Structure 1
Amino acid sequence: MENLTLAVNYTSCYFFDSVARRRSFLFFYLAIIIVSIPANGFSLYVSWQHIRQKNELGVYLVNLALSDLTFTVGLSLWLDFLWRGVWTHGGYVCVLSVYFLFTNFYTSEALLCCIAVDRYLAVVHPLKFTSLRKVNTAVAVTVAIWLLVLLFNAGTIRWEDSYQEYNGFPVCFDTFIPLSESLARANIIRFFLGFIVPFLLVVVSTWRICVAVKSNQATEEKERKRISKMLTVVLLCVVLCFGPVHVMMLLRIQVDHCKDVTWFLYPYKIATAISSFNCLADPLLYCFITRTGQANVNKVVLFFQGKKGRTSNAMV
């Protein structure tokens, strides 16, 4: 088996991972793609039903699905990279793929925060802030989120931090240290604004909703469970999908020598891989937790059960 090797020049460290490790990530991302594309495609349909019902929640869900689909399609380039061990698509495509990665991170986190805050306003203050819970307001908020995330990524994702070549071996995103000052600052901003702030917003919203639901005796048990499931998925998605990779971003600043990266590289790749579970967790919000989602899933299940039953009868 090919060993993990480390090549160093005066400006960067390059890592050529073993074939076995690369292929393990390859099959992992392939499984993500196979499940995520149909799941998020179906989620677009489900989310559109919310918008047709004049539900602002549908706007956030549609944009979550679009963000996940964009990122998932871009994963095909990473599959080729993991298979070959070198990046063959050039620097511009490399930077664009990294751009897609971070755009998915922060649009997803921001939209999950919007869902949590929207549910907080609906449950805790049902008669107040009604103007904030309209479709037009949700559209304006999502447009602002996309613009802010795109502009932030445009200012922080740089060619020299994403794409490098060493002795004819192009590498994308696996160029680690030494970090440029701009990337170190960007990682700090990403940790606090891209993780800590959304985490606190979701936690506070979840806590206030739980208190309000428990104290409101008029809320049905089924409705309480539905709200609890939604909040659990949102909170776990923020913490488990985005927490590890942002912690590794912060730790990466402390790694100031190439020899230290031998222990840092693999955990960093694992944390990045875990973040892609976001593409699978988001559809749970549409298909299995919201009322419209549950209804549409039930329709699909009944359709296939009926089709299976007709096929069985025809064979008798």
Structure 2
Amino acid sequence: MLMRKGNNIAVYLFNLSVSDLLYTFSLPAWIEMALQRHMSEFCNLVVVFMHNTFYVSSGLLCCISVDRYLAVVYPLRFHWVRELRTAVVVCIAVWSLEITICIILLHHIGALRAFSSKDLCDEQKPMAVEDANLVLTRFTLGFLVPIFIMAFCFQQIMRSLRQSTSILTEERRKVGLLLLFLLLTYIVACMPYQIVMLLRATLETGACVWAVRLTDPYLVTVAMTTINSTLDPIIYCLISASAQNEIKKAWGVFVRRKGLERTVGIQLVS
């Protein structure tokens, strides 16, 4: 509904929801793989889905942050960036870029040569040097860079708000709260997992003792990443006035339908 009205943020949120749903659906397979249990012949495809959707979400959160940054700090400029079609193109680019990076990294560690096998699913313990390099690359590009972008956008928006005396200050404050909650949720949900993976990449290679010690923290922090997938849409709906209006309309339709069904039921009983 919001996309029909030309709301570009709705495009990002739709793609974010799709990415989060795909990631959540693949999470059980990730846990099964971590526990070294038997996996199906589609295991490698599931692994690729897991990593792609996890980092696509990070990219889309960056897009939302940059979009709100341009809307608040430069409200009279970059209108084309905040158009609906621009958001569609950006989302396509984010998905394409992540898939391309994933293919390049898999090719770098030689995983594409035997993609029909279960090489990606049979997680080696202790972690191999090639896998450790892959983790360090993803940690830098998929976690540190998004954190920097979101923190920069939030800082610039807060700076703009302190200097603003316009009647739109309240609306801009909502944008600041949105980015703050998105940033905090992302840090709380993803940082523990990224830290554990960083420890695995630096300590586990060639050391079985660390492979054993980090197994339980790894499983727990993987599960924690779903917090980000769950809370992102809720945060937006709580802060966005347009989203709140759509929820109220949907709730009103639901209540009216229930009332109508109850009335019809009473008439039939009578």
Query: Which bracket does the TM-score occupy, shorter chain normalised?
Result: 0.7 to 0.9
Cα distance in 2 for residues equivalent to 1:130 and 1:106: 27
What letter is aligned with 1:259? V
Question: 1:218 is paired with a residue of what secondary structure?
Answer: coil
Contact kept, 8 Å, 1:241 with 1:275, in 2: the verdict is: yes
Cα distance in 2 for residues equivalent to 1:56 and 1:307: 31
* TM-score of the two chains, using structure 1 as the length reference: 0.71
Contact kept, 8 Å, 2:193 with 2:221, in 1: the verdict is: yes
The equivalent of 1:182 in structure 2 is 130
What letter is aligned with 2:211? V
The equivalent of 2:154 in structure 1 is 206
Q: Deviations over 1:89-137 (max 9, x none)?
A: 13xx222111111111111001100100100000000112223222232
The Cα of 1:195 is off from its aligned counterpart by 0.7
Matched, 1:111 2:60: yes
* The 10-residue stretch of structure 1 (110-119 or 252-261) with the greater mean CA deviation from structure 2: 252-261
The Cα of 1:315 is off from its aligned counterpart by 6.3
Contact kept, 8 Å, 1:87 with 1:172, in 2: the verdict is: no
The Cα of 1:176 is off from its aligned counterpart by 4.2
What letter is aligned with 2:40? H
The Cα of 1:219 is off from its aligned counterpart by 3.8
Q: Deviations over 1:15-53 (max 9, x none)?
A: xxxxxxxxxxxxxxxxxxxxxxxxxxxxxxxxxx33222
Structure with more of its chain in strand, by fraction? 1
| Aligned partner (choices 146, 153, 159) of residue 102 of structure 2 | 153
Q: 1:309 to 1:50 in 2, by over 3 A?
A: closer
What letter is aligned with 2:147? F
Matched, 1:71 2:20: no
Cα distance in 2 for residues equivalent to 1:78 and 1:251: 19
The Cα of 1:208 is off from its aligned counterpart by 0.8
| Aligned partner (choices 225, 241, 262) of residue 275 of structure 1 | 225
What letter is aligned with 1:134? E
Q: Deviations over 1:250-295 (max 9, x none)?
A: 1111113222222211111111111122221221254332232111
What letter is aligned with 2:183? L
Q: 1:163 to 1:233 in 2, by over 3 A?
A: farther
The Cα of 1:204 is off from its aligned counterpart by 0.8
Matched, 1:94 2:43: yes
Cα distance in 1 for residues equivalent to 2:260 and 2:180: 39
The Cα of 1:151 is off from its aligned counterpart by 1.6
Matched, 1:131 2:80: yes
Question: 2:125 is paired with a residue of what secondary structure?
Answer: coil
* The 10-residue stretch of structure 1 (195-204 or 130-139) with the greater mean CA deviation from structure 2: 130-139
Equivalenced residue count is 257
Percent identity between matched residues is 32
**Unmatched tracts of structure 2, length 5 or more:** none
The equivalent of 1:259 in structure 2 is 209
* The 10-residue stretch of structure 1 (262-271 or 130-139) with the greater mean CA deviation from structure 2: 130-139
Contact kept, 8 Å, 2:15 with 2:91, in 1: the verdict is: yes
Contact kept, 8 Å, 1:120 with 1:208, in 2: the verdict is: yes
Contact kept, 8 Å, 1:287 with 1:296, in 2: the verdict is: no
What letter is aligned with 2:76? L
Q: 1:310 to 1:266 in 2, by over 3 A?
A: same
Cα distance in 1 for residues equivalent to 2:29 and 2:131: 23
Question: 2:6 is paired with a residue of what secondary structure?
Answer: coil
What letter is aligned with 1:266? D
Q: Deviations over 1:52-81 (max 9, x none)?
A: 2223222211211121222233346458x4
Q: 1:311 to 1:135 in 2, by over 3 A?
A: closer
What letter is aligned with 1:62? F
Contact kept, 8 Å, 1:118 with 1:133, in 2: the verdict is: yes
Contact kept, 8 Å, 1:105 with 1:242, in 2: the verdict is: no
Cα distance in 1 for residues equivalent to 2:169 and 2:254: 30
Q: 1:96 to 1:219 in 2, by over 3 A?
A: farther
Q: Over the residues paired in the alignment, what is the CA RMSD in angstroms? A: 3.0
Question: 1:52 is paired with a residue of what secondary structure?
Answer: coil
Cα distance in 2 for residues equivalent to 1:304 and 1:137: 34
The equivalent of 2:193 in structure 1 is 245
Contact kept, 8 Å, 1:190 with 1:246, in 2: the verdict is: no
Q: 1:224 to 1:145 in 2, by over 3 A?
A: closer
Q: 1:263 to 1:179 in 2, by over 3 A?
A: closer
